[in-house]
Amino acid sequence: MPFAYQYGTVRALKTKYMPITTGAQKALRASERKKVFNIRRKSTMKDITKAVDKAVLAGDTKKAEELLPTAYKAIDKAVKRGVIKENTAARKKSRMTARIVKAKA
């Protein structure tokens, strides 16, 4: 994003420009609405993956296996909405499963 800098100061102050055209204003409103949903989806994904990790660290592999489908679902929804990329999702799922398998052994 472009920034405006105040001249004559040692430290430049950053201020974001506001959209000028009506189309740009509408796009900004839409992106702010979508941002709320994206943050919510990402936080639910992180919460469930943390729950799986806590179960693995506690040695409760049975609980971790029960939470695994929920974690997969949250990750897949994040991919579907474009919050994370497909390869990132595959990596997260693979590592999560590997941690559970390693904890079992």
User: What pLDDT was estimated at residue 105?
Assistant: 82
**Please, which contacts does 61-67 make with residues 24 or more away whose CB atoms are closer than 8 Å?**
61/100, 61/103, 61/104, 64/100, 64/103, 65/100
CATH number of the 32-104 domain: 1.20.58.110
Residue with token string 């040692």: 10
On whether the CB atoms of residues 68 and 97 are closer than 8 A, the answer is yes
56-87 residue pLDDT tens? 999 999 999 999 999 999 999 999 999 999 99
pTM: 0.75
* All structural domains of the chain with their residue ranges: 32-104
